[in-house]
Amino acid sequence: MDSLKCSWVMDYQQLLENIYQAILPYAKEGKQADYIPELAKVNPDQFGMCIHTIYGETAAIEQADTRFSIQSIAKVFSLAMCLSIKGDDLWKRVGKEPSGTAFNSLIQLEVEKGIPRNPFINSGAIVMADILLSNLANPEADFLNFVRAVAGNDTIDYNKEVAISERENGYLNAAIVNLLKYHGTIENDIEEVLHFYFMMCSIEMSCRELSLVFLAFANHRRKFDYAGFTLTSSQVKRMNAIMQTCGFYDEAGEFAYLVGLPGKSGVGGGIVAIYPLQYSVAVWSPRLNPKGNSVMGIKALELLTTETKESIF
């Protein structure tokens, strides 16, 4: 691929536009998630991208303002809340090692006796849903309020149709919660846990909203204190480490190799990545590769760090 133009003083708008042109040949590659019937209805031929720097610069292209189902990206918010509530005790319930297996794998969970490898695979996120259910007065409202507070945006909401559609077809996640319950790792009723987990996954946000909200993680020197949930700089830094090692299921190594930034993806086709103390970037395109990550999203981020010559490595 020809090298894209990018000046030393970064013109992010021009850069994103150049990236979009360069990745257009991949526009038809991959397939949107269809195991959640509501997600199969989304037009797969969409792309959005937005970057926010910690210095206040913003650039956005194409459908950067279209909201989509953030799915597993929501796991970053639940981790922030769980860490704020439990501190290091959280790690008694869930590990922090990359899984090297699919996001919904059961095998590892069985071998490891119901302690999920990390908070970003489904089993780990289901344990976090259980922790939040046990510790929040109004879990659904409190979770949403937290996300709205970090985003500074009260219009962000759940999409109940997506959550219900996932519940009606969520056999694998139901198997996971049953296995966790069998091993004594779940305190609450499994139907309640599943419902809350699917609700969290159903939140909808745009690339512009996501990249703005993730500045809270990109800038770990800024005070993290939202809706009564606080994290220290060190906790935020460590969340970034978990995004780096576990944010892309069994493709975390490939993402580190190609892009070199901490981040989190979701099966709605969204990816958020952060360059600590520099910027946060969100990209969305519904067509996924076989590992469940957005094809155009990964290409766009790979070009971003290649062209800017900036990554954490």
Which positions touch ligand GLU (CB under 6 A)? 71-72, 103-104, 122, 166, 173, 201, 266-267, 292
DSSP strand pairing (68-69 vs 263-265): unpaired
- CB closer to ligand GLU out of 122 and 245: 122
- CB closer to ligand GLU out of 61 and 129: 129
- Shortest distance, position 70 Cβ to ligand GLU, whole Å: 8
- CB closer to ligand GLU out of 62 and 166: 166
The answer to whether 160 touches 90, Cβ cutoff 8 Å, is no
User: What is the spatial distance between Cα 307 and Cα 19, in angstroms, rounded to a whole number?
Assistant: 9
- Shortest distance, position 38 Cβ to ligand GLU, whole Å: 11
- CB closer to ligand GLU out of 48 and 247: 247
Residue 293 corresponds to which tokens in the numbers above?
A: 């990550």
- Shortest distance, position 104 Cβ to ligand GLU, whole Å: 5
Element (H or E) spanning 195, and its range? helix 190-201
- Shortest distance, position 20 Cβ to ligand GLU, whole Å: 24
Cα angle: 73, vertex 75, 76; to 5 degrees: 80
- Shortest distance, position 292 Cβ to ligand GLU, whole Å: 6
- CB closer to ligand GLU out of 11 and 157: 157
DSSP string, 103-154: TT-SHHHHHTTT--S-TTSHHHHHHHHHHHHHH-SSHHHHHHHHHHHHHT-T
The answer to whether 255 touches 263, Cβ cutoff 8 Å, is yes
